[in-house]
């Protein structure tokens, strides 16, 4: 009968090991956002009843997941997850032309004949005074 005692003892240790890692298994099966933190708590503090209970409670805690995102939310301690925020990239408004660029544009218009010398001098004086 020594073999039957070894089998019973082996089954007992397997059952204890399964119960010990139960919080981690639950967290990974539920794809909990903090499953790795739960794993660390379970392994480090699971030997204490309190650590094991905290890990199990956290693993069983309902996780809020937005419809359009695979994970995230504001439940439990979600230490490493933020709610997704939609950000829209917008082109910045164009910079106003510098005085030098504006003078070059006015000179080009004068050279093309679009401005008279009097118009050019008036616009140039207004630009320089501003």
**pLDDT tens across the length of the chain (130 residues):** 568 888 999 999 999 999 999 999 999 998 888 888 899 999 999 888 999 999 999 888 866 655 555 454 444 455 555 555 666 778 888 878 888 889 999 999 999 999 999 999 999 999 888 7
State the pTM of this model: 0.48
Buried b (16+ CB within 10 A) or exposed e, 20-44: ebbbbebbeeeebbbbebbbebbee
How far is Cα of residue 77 from the mean position of the Cα atoms in its chain?
15
């Amino acid at each position: 009968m020594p073999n039957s005692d070894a089998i019973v003892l082996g089954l007992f240790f397997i059952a204890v090991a399964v119960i010990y890692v139960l919080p981690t298994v639950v967290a990974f099966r539920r794809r909990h956002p903090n499953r790795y933190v739960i794993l660390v708590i379970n392994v480090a503090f699971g030997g204490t009843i309190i650590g094991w209970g905290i890990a199990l409670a956290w693993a069983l805690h309902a996780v809020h997941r937005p419809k359009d995102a695979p994970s995230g939310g504001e439940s439990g301690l979600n230490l490493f997850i933020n709610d997704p925020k939609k950000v829209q990239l917008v082109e910045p408004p164009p910079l106003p032309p510098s005085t030098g660029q504006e003078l070059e544009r006015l000179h080009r218009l004068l050279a093309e004949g679009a401005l008279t010398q009097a118009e050019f001098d008036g616009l140039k004086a207004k630009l320089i005074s501003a």
